[in-house]
Copies of this chain bind each other. A is one copy, B any other.
């Protein structure tokens, strides 16, 4: 039996940190987004996404409105709603989901085709422009929603619609060549394969992966001229094959390049396909890109895609903190990629990456109240330039209420609502626990409960609820360098492999595993190749990366530095932050203005108190300057 995730339906989360975030998503974010999709929030930008389906079903008249991929907002919301229905049964929501699914069904064409843009606006141009038109992308998201409703909410209507859609896609693209302009259908088809067992969908996903990059001129040859029509809201150049990773066959790619979300959705699908097929060349490519991203192209918060231009990876070590793009969707996609890599190899690096993204770059995308979202997640903000000066237009000091391209908010909502998927896996004789998030999993060896003080405190525990002879493999986060392990209050030693401690026993019901570890503040230092970080440190504690907001400091952020020997105290939450938050306090120095723009005098340093907060919680009080990397004085 290969390694499989334990289904979201078999995992009940009960966690001090995440349960409240899931509650916000179910109670605030999902209802708020639904209103936006239905254009019921006057102060938010127009969405029209539900109306587009009504028009495609012939039940409303008017013009299609929005991005060519507007349908995907509905799909991602449905996926989030599916998990929400599992987390918190809600009859009224379930009815509205059913109605929306029925509407989607009525908008589906006879032959299974499903896309409101083309149905409403260009029925004659279906499947003619794969580079820009996002039909396969929208289909992939719809299929993911269909699978999620089936798995998490026991609702199969959308799954049936999606099977017709997938069959329509297979009918067409099994014969004819096609490369998705924006990867995503591959993820959807693989999930549909997992849900239905129908190998046709797996093979179709593999065919899409195999064709990509085989002929680097494919998009040049197959993209129609369309003067004046901007399907993606802007022109995509068919010759820019790096942008959508179609310049080189996927198995031969060596570094992450181009549009980050395209790259990462592709990698998530490749990792899933490799686990399914045992294709070593595919897995090797995944490993190369995982290493490239995490060792050379990732910010310390987990943010990826450093360039606003094309929302893209650029070159190794190009990680400017203040012009960082770091799209929320890219960090969400990093979780998908890492999660699928675990199926190939339960290596702690993958779980570590999931943890980093979940507690930092991805989570920062959402305001604490669940109502506003960042698309861009910088590591340094200077309000004198951000949002204004060229090169900083994309960087904002505050989460906006909604976005013209609204991909990130529902992406984050579905991730948080489906968090249970990412916690546990199992194979023939092992239960894997990847993340220390309080939960009870129904495994093939019965129920296991995980609970504890993480992420704020250094103790966690597992309780075996039913018992049996099996291995419990617990991931020890990479940042936990020392811990003590007890089984039933006796200290024990067990083998550790690649970041997991493997405890094999004949478990009795009520057996307990306890782990204690120090939650020290860590000072992180970057590779010297990262120009923008040398001589600086980033603070971390547990899974959290910290940042400094100017409003907490006595002086300007640009003036402060931290002596390398300064003690850093974990302190209780600063006013305005949730009370469980562990903040940091330390003695640093502030440079005083030396007198003129460029002065031969050394700036005078005055001692000052410095305060840091977890990165995900920034921009929740008064908007202002922020930085993650602080100058460190040796």
Contacts and interface: CB of A to CB of B under 8 A. Distances in A.
B385 A522 contact: no
Given A593-B528, A631-B535, A634-B633, A390 B308 contact: yes
Given A524-B598, A525-B601, A558-B528, A534 B631 contact: yes
Interface string A571-594: 000000000000000000001111
A316 B294 CA distance: 36
Copies per assembly: 2
A531 interface: yes
B599 A315 contact: no
30 contacts: A298-B597, A309-B391, A315-B384, A315-B389, A316-B384, A318-B384, A318-B389, A323-B391, A380-B531, A391-B391, A479-B600, A523-B600, A524-B598, A524-B599, A524-B600, A525-B594, A525-B598, A525-B602, A526-B597, A527-B594, A528-B559, A528-B594, A528-B603, A534-B558, A534-B559, A534-B591, A535-B535, A535-B631, A538-B598, A633-B633
Given A315-B385, A559-B528, A522 B307 contact: no
A605 interface: yes
B594 A385 contact: no
Nearest to A594: B525
Where chain A touches its partner, the secondary structure class is loop
A295 B596 contact: yes
Contacts of A593: 527-529
A479 B538 CA distance: 37
A531 B557 CA distance: 8
A436 interface: no
Contacts of A559: 528, 534
Interface residues of A, number: 59
A310 interface: yes
Contacts of A310: 390
A530 interface: yes
Which 8 residue pairs are nearest across A and B when measured between Cβ atoms? A309-B390, A528-B559, A531-B558, A535-B631, A314-B389, A524-B598, A522-B600, A295-B597
Interface string A253-281: 00000000000000000000000000000
Given A522-B600, A523-B600, 19 more contacts: A314-B389, A315-B385, A318-B389, A322-B531, A382-B531, A391-B391, A525-B594, A527-B598, A528-B591, A528-B592, A529-B556, A529-B558, A529-B593, A534-B558, A534-B603, A534-B631, A535-B591, A538-B598, A564-B602
A417 to B, nearest CB: 29
A597 B294 contact: yes
Contacts of A218: none
Nearest to A603: B525
Interface string A222-266: 000000000000000000000000000000000000000000000
A375 B605 CA distance: 38
A299 to B, nearest CB: 9
Contacts of A385: 314-315, 318
Nearest to A307: B390
A450 interface: no
A497 interface: no
Nearest to A592: B528
